[in-house]
Structure 1
Amino acid sequence: MAWLLFNVDLPPVRELQETIEGFGWAAWFVFTGLYALVALTPIPVTIMAVTGGFLFGVVIGSVLAVLGAFFGAWGAYWLARGLSKRTVLRMLGKHRPRVEDHLTSAGFEAVCVLRLMPGVPYWPVNYGAGAFGVRTAVYVPASLLSVIPGQISLVAVGAFIAEPGILTGVQVLVAWGVVVVLTVLAYRLWRSARRE
């Protein structure tokens, strides 16, 4: 991301915003749909969340990013349930041991930990949850709640890039602080749930 920031010339924020506004009332739906499609793939969703903040600001960008990430996660979950478990396990590659360890007999806490844990992309969690039989009643609320902090923190970075300032800088720091605290809490809950 740092390399992109210093080496890729993006059009001015206003120009990008005008392009998005050209879609009229459908702009939010277009962005959310594109986000969900990216979330179905191994492409990191980070760039979409940062773009959401860059184009829409923290509040609207966060709502759209959370919806896009969630719908993509839900779609991947059902896609994995339709594929054979062996196919999904091959897809997971190097992420398989960690995802399998957390999601076998998974509860709410396990899904949250994987969603919040740095270094674990969304797509292995999405497909792994479907392959390892995480119940929909557990997966849906855990996914929705645990994507919120990460998406807001990334959207805040995009908003800061668009309009650097003290307010947007504070939003980035607070959002990332919340992610760290929630990751630690979710991990502790997951560890205590495993010991029971």
Structure 2
Amino acid sequence: MTVQPGGDVPRKSSGPQALLRRWGPLAAIVGLMVLVFAMGWQRYLSFEVIGSNYDALKAFIADHLVLALLIYVAIYVIVVALSLPGGLVMTVAGGLLFGWLLGSVATVVGATIGATLIFLIAKSSLGEALAAKAGPWLEKLRAGFKENAVSYLLFLRLVPIFPFWLVNLAPALLGVPLGTYVIATIVGIIPGTVAFSVAGAGLGSVLEAQSASHAACLAAHPAGGEAACPYQIDTSALVTPQLLAAFVLLGVVALIPVAYKKWSKRNA
């Protein structure tokens, strides 16, 4: 901060340090995203990788539960903060490896931390610039969103048609306060997290059967290897039309306070 001659009003510095503080975290996130996709590390976030290492993962968790939970939360934070494709896989895996209750808690913690990190980075890097250059229509949109931030955020979190990374960024650009964002994120992701954690908790027998079938195939076709015996898990049953409809209904319920407020104003 610098002080203008003849006045007391501080002005934000625009020097190299200020620019680094503002754009450095965003540049780091983008750089890490490029690195992950260039190395292909996102491919490890798959049911096939988890299934083929299921026994080893369960043994490690049995011996080092706390450490395993910390690693899981850390990976989830990275997945969310870097907007990697794999949130659903991680959530289901949490229920599979830790049980639905412990897996749900760990998932909510990791997802909330990761979402908050990207929110803060986007808010400091892009949100302030957008607010400074916002025209009347955008300022009106920001004001309306902030007025009903909890309801709108719950709707965006609950309805699964909106990508998680988009729901993390939009509130930062629309001026939502940090506390409101964190509370709405925690509440909004709980239903989906619990649902998919419960589904994951029931996949253990499926993975064991698939692992046995895969091992038998490899024994029968030693020359073919993985090409002849691909490890495949059908997870299409996890996301059913009924489950999606339930999330949409929850999202509609979240918008009831907004609709009532608008109706009250119109009929006041």
TM-score by length of 2: 0.55
Q: Residue 39 of structure 1 corresponds to which residue in structure 2?
A: 80
Q: Residue 106 of structure 2 corresponds to which residue in structure 1?
A: 64
Query: Which stretch of structure 1 is more off in the superposition, 40-49 or 182-191?
Result: 182-191
Q: Residue 167 of structure 1 corresponds to which residue in structure 2?
A: none
- Unaligned residue ranges in structure 2 (runs of 5+): 1-45, 131-140, 207-238
- Unaligned residue ranges in structure 1 (runs of 5+): 89-98, 165-171
In 1, Cα distance between equivalents of 2:108 and 2:66? 19
Q: Residue 25 of structure 1 corresponds to which residue in structure 2?
A: 66
Aligned length: 174
Cα 1:159–1:188, aligned 2, differ >3 Å: closer, same or farther? same
1:148 counterpart = 2:213: no
Shift of 1:9: 8.1
Shift of 1:74: 1.1
Please report the RMSD computed on the Cα atoms of aligned residues, expressed in angstroms: 3.2
Greater Rg over alpha carbons, structure = 2
In 2, Cα distance between equivalents of 1:64 and 1:104? 29
Select the structure that is richer in helix: 1
Of all paired residues, the percent bearing the same amino acid is: 27
- Equivalent residue for 1:124, pick from 166, 170, 176: 166
> Could you say what secondary structure the match of 1:26 adopts?
helix
Shift of 1:107: 1.8
In 2, Cα distance between equivalents of 1:116 and 1:149? 8
Shift of 1:22: 5.3
Q: Which has the bigger relative contact order, CA under 8 A and spacing at least 6?
A: 1
TM-score by length of 1: 0.73
Q: Deviations over 1:33-61 (max 9, x none)?
A: 11011111222411110110111111111
